[in-house]
Chains A and B, each alone.
Chain A
Amino acid sequence: MKQLAIGTALVLLLTLSACTTTTVDEYRENDISLTLGSSERVVVLGRRHYADYETEPDFIDCIGEKLNADKVVAVLPERQFVDLLYPWFEPRTAPLGLKRLAKMLDEPMIARRFKEQGLRYMIWIDGSTETTERDGSVSCAIGPGGGGCFGFATWEKTGTYEAIIWDLQTLDESGRVKVEARGSSYMVAIILPIPIIAQVQDQACDGIGRQLRSFFMGNRARETTAQTP
């Protein structure tokens, strides 16, 4: 009985995750939802030109999955897009503004490739998740009789991201979403280390992904309402 209780406590501890606070700010050019035809797609790209950080590729994949969750918004994967447009969307060559993109699209070959892929919107994600504070320590030792860890450590992570939506047809900005997620993780070690991890990046992805989807979903909801008699 006692063993079962200890086992349950351990499992509970392992499945625990620390709290994360997420703040989402949104800016829209107007109240109208973004239109996306059945053959049109969206591409989500990360900014990689800064020296000290770069937007994580797995974060970009996560946002793509959130957008495409119920097959409403078709997303062209970042890697595929960058390879199809090589060398125009490498960290050194990617357009930082709409003016530069417009100039790029004056090149018929590039414009044709965009059209072939049915690209309607480009979403740029800029930001990263960093460890902002760290405290405590855990030390482990191993000897002939066995080993174990002892101590307590805590660290705080902050994920700050901004998404900017570019309309590739009108070549203007359709909206912005800013998200800040913050969470503290803990590691308690009494013989066995038990981590309680705050899913900061996942929460930021969830926040930004849900908000970006609302840019497109409003339109879909209106279409559905219009179709019902």
Chain B
Amino acid sequence: MKARVFITPLLVLCGLLASACSTKLEVVGNFPPALTAKLPLRTIVVFEPDFASYRFDSTVGKEVSVAVGQIQVELFTGLAANLFQHSSTASNMPNDGPADLILVPRVEDVQISMPNESQLKVFEVWIKYNLQLFDSNHEPVADWIMTAYGKTPTRFLKSDTEALQQASMVALRDAGAHFITGFARVPEIQQWLRQRPTSAQTTNASSQP
């Protein structure tokens, strides 16, 4: 009984000490709808399990673990719904289905910089995506390497967890901005869009005698 009295506070103390040396968070938040014209495309966004459960872990220096899987799924689902006339999601490559374009986002790399490492007064988050695009025949259209960056200045009494959450959200919003403003500017996508008959053209062609 006496031993239990000492063990419980000791375990609590050990837990507190362990948590003080590591930063763990799951990024949560909301994204506003994108103000953009919809492209006349039917798309399927494939969220592979690795992408949907992506967690960045770093054991160099202070232990940092940031889960961005779920929030990425929410971001790309919203972006596709805003940018394309029709969009749906899948967890693996569809065998058939009415899609002009299949988008498979993958995380290539995540880097995090904390003030104690960089000597700068900012928390920084970089995310490098590889957005693979396929046409309806599963032929590759483009391999778009897209980088996103977010930073937040250090603030008095702001915890590392809170600062990393903010920096990650800024990086994800940046990814969204890059996706919306850059999609039609990627040369391969531009070429594919130019070569592809638009829905209106297809409708006109089919209605002609």
A contact set with B: CB distance below 8 Å: 51-54, 56, 83-88, 90-93, 109-110, 113
A109 in contact with B174 (CB, 8 Å): no
Return the chain B residue nearest A107 by Cβ. Answer: B37
A85 in contact with B174 (CB, 8 Å): no
Return the chain A residue nearest B124 by Cβ. Answer: A51
B151 in contact with A54 (CB, 8 Å): yes
Interface of B is mostly: mixed
A108 to chain B, nearest CB (A): 9
Name B1-60 residues within 8 Å CB distance of A.
31-37
A109 in contact with B173 (CB, 8 Å): no
B34 in contact with A87 (CB, 8 Å): yes
Q: How large is the interface on B (under 10, 10 to 19, 20 to 34, 35 or more residues)?
A: 20 to 34
Interface of A is mostly: loop
Return the chain A residue nearest B148 by Cβ. Answer: A92
B contact set with A: CB distance below 8 Å: 31-37, 120, 122, 149, 151, 153, 170, 173-174, 176-178, 180-181
Q: Choose one: B37, B153, B177, B178; the contact of A56 (CB below 8 Å).
A: B153
Q: Give the docked Cα–Cα distance between A52 and B36 (Å).
A: 31
B28 to chain A, nearest CB (A): 17
Q: Which residues of A contact B31 (CB under 8 A)?
A: 86
B34 in contact with A86 (CB, 8 Å): yes
Q: How many A-B residue pairs have CB under 8 A?
A: 45
Q: Choose one: A53, A86, A93; the contact of B153 (CB below 8 Å).
A: A53
Q: Give the docked Cα–Cα distance between A54 and B151 (Å).
A: 9
User: Quick one: given A53-B153, A93-B181, are A86 and B32 in contact (CB under 8 Å)?
Assistant: yes
A92 in contact with B178 (CB, 8 Å): yes
A90 in contact with B153 (CB, 8 Å): no
B174 in contact with A83 (CB, 8 Å): no
Q: Give the docked Cα–Cα distance between A139 and B108 (Å).
A: 46
B177 in contact with A109 (CB, 8 Å): no
Q: Choose one: B35, B176, B177; the contact of A110 (CB below 8 Å).
A: B35
A109 in contact with B37 (CB, 8 Å): yes
User: Quick one: given A52-B120, A53-B153, are A92 and B37 in contact (CB under 8 Å)?
Assistant: no
A44 to chain B, nearest CB (A): 18
Q: Which residues of B contact A90 (CB under 8 A)?
A: 173-174, 177
A109 in contact with B36 (CB, 8 Å): yes
User: Quick one: given A86-B31, A110-B35, are A92 and B177 in contact (CB under 8 Å)?
Assistant: yes
A95 to chain B, nearest CB (A): 12
B35 in contact with A113 (CB, 8 Å): yes
Q: Which residues of B contact A56 (CB under 8 A)?
A: 153
B181 in contact with A87 (CB, 8 Å): yes
User: Quick one: given A56-B153, A110-B35, are A87 and B176 in contact (CB under 8 Å)?
Assistant: yes
B35 in contact with A93 (CB, 8 Å): no
Give the top 4 A-B pairs by smallest Cβ distance, nearest first: A87-B177, A83-B32, A90-B177, A86-B32
A85 to chain B, nearest CB (A): 6
Give 12 A-B contacts (CB < 8 Å), ordered by A residue. Answer: A51-B151, A52-B120, A53-B153, A83-B32, A84-B32, A87-B35, A88-B35, A88-B181, A90-B177, A93-B177, A110-B35, A113-B35
Known: A85-B35, A87-B34. 15 other contacts (CB 8 A): A52-B122, A53-B153, A54-B153, A84-B32, A86-B32, A86-B173, A86-B176, A87-B35, A87-B173, A87-B177, A88-B35, A90-B174, A90-B177, A109-B37, A113-B35
